Amino acid sequence: MNKLQSFLTRGQDFWQKFYEKKGKKGVAQVAALGLGLLYLQYQVRKHNGWLKKKSVVNEHIFITGGASGIGKNMALRFARLGAKISIVDVNEDALNQVVGQINSLHGEKAAFGVKCDVSDPQSVKNAIKKCIDFHQKKIDILINNAGVVSGKQILENTDAGIARTMNINTTAHHWTVREVLGDMIANKHGHIVTIASIAGWVGVRGLADYCASKFGAVGFDESLRFELRATKSNVKTTCICPYFINTGMFDGAKSKFPLLFPILSENYATTRIVNAVLQDETVVIMPIILNLSIMVKAIFPTCIYDNMMELFGVSESMDHFKGRQQ
Ligand SMILES: NC(=O)c1ccc[n+]([C@@H]2O[C@H](COP(=O)([O-])OP(=O)(O)OC[C@H]3O[C@@H](n4cnc5c(N)ncnc54)[C@H](O)[C@@H]3O)[C@@H](O)[C@H]2O)c1
């Protein structure tokens, strides 16, 4: 007790002398530095997945577009963490392979797959019912991951191409969420994850339909979050906004400054997304440096933002886009 008292007295003396010497301004500077360091250590812990994580053991996780890319990787990771996995995708062969892989590793009832086109509300309704029947459990975590990209300039795109991008990348989120949200709210338990993109914050030449759809997905997530906050619901939301990932979807797209804006590896992106879900994060922009582009857009005049995007090569990143070859 004496030790504590002398420690507190010495601390008080130190700050008294500091105040006499540096005045209010000095104290404010130290307080700002302290807060800055606290924020920094929080960000470091969050990015490395060192915050408190929730358990997903026996949680029913439903992933759209889980037959390839980050959807497949998330399914494998969450299965390893003990979750019951449901995957829906239009690619039935790849879907069956992923389900087979998970079941061979974690038991024959670990994963279930249904062919489903997420842009068709009836197909979504049927698939969700089959998955709930299979696992005998309502959906606890919904991951809206299915997505497509046309990579076409506005005048080159087709009516069908534009509608496809919007229906799969944005409108489908309504179909899936409307099927599961009521039960989540009633059970006071659930999590809705939106796999959007940094293209949901920043417009890119050659990605008009994709950007429009991902801006829509970001807006959908934010509106959903506010609806849930208004009723003090326990249902969580997470919106993931990555830069290019090397899954093949954006083959040919280039980063002008790869050291500053690296193309993300599938493995890194999956780890970051899984940690974000387990840590109940709300919005994740990755890599973190891309938060600056949003800040510049919010603070500076448009001409400064536009020149900055051109300087960093963002607007030319799609010039050599090939996309998936099949
Ligand atoms: N790859 C990137 O650079 C990148 C960057 C930012 C965001 N994203 C987003 O991440 C998500 C996953 O992308 P990925 O890179 O793993 O791509 P991917 O092409 O490997 O996976 C997308 C999956 O969605 C499925 N799918 C397409 N249309 C569907 C439909 N109508 N119904 C059901 N499933 C359908 C595909 O069959 C595929 O299995 C997408 O939403 C994408 O927009 C990707």
Q: What's the pLDDT tens digit per position in 202-220? A: 999 999 999 999 999 999 9
Mean pLDDT, rounded, of the chain: 96
Q: Identify residue 91 by its one-letter amino acid code.
A: N
Mutate to test the pocket of ligand 1, among 64, 68, 87 (most ligand atoms within 8 A of CB): 68
Give 234-244 pLDDT, tens digit per residue. 999 999 999 99
Report the percent of the chain where pLDDT is more than 70. Answer: 99
Q: Identify residue 115 by its one-letter amino acid code.
A: K
CA–CA separation, 193 and 221 (whole Å): 8
Query: Ligand 1 centre and the CA of 69: distance in Å?
Result: 7
pLDDT average, residue stretch 154-178: 98
CB 71 within 8 A of CB 146: yes
Ligand 1 atom 32: the closest Cα is on which residue?
Answer: 117
Does one domain contain both 228 and 307?
A: yes
Q: Residue 277: name the closest of 241, 245, 239, 243 by CA.
A: 239
Q: What domain count does the chain have?
A: 2
Q: Residue 114: name the closest of 74, 86, 140, 154 by CA.
A: 86
The H helix count followed by the E strand count for the chain is 10, 7
Structural domain span for residue 16: 1-33
Does one domain contain both 80 and 13?
A: no
Atom number, ligand 1, closest to the C-alpha of residue 67 = 39
Atom number, ligand 1, closest to the C-alpha of residue 250 = 3
Structural domain includes residue 24:
yes
Does one domain contain both 199 and 275?
A: yes
pLDDT of 2 reads 83
pLDDT average, residue stretch 174-189: 98
Structural domain includes residue 54:
no
CATH code at position 154 = 3.40.50.720
Structural domain includes residue 320:
no
Verify whether ligand 1 is closer than 6 Å to residue 147 (CB atom): yes
CA–CA separation, 198 and 241 (whole Å): 5
Does position 326 have pLDDT exceeding 80, yes or no? no
Marked catalytic residue, from 19, 39, 42, 210: 210
CA torsion angle 105 106 108 109 (round to 10): -150
Does position 324 have pLDDT exceeding 90, yes or no? no
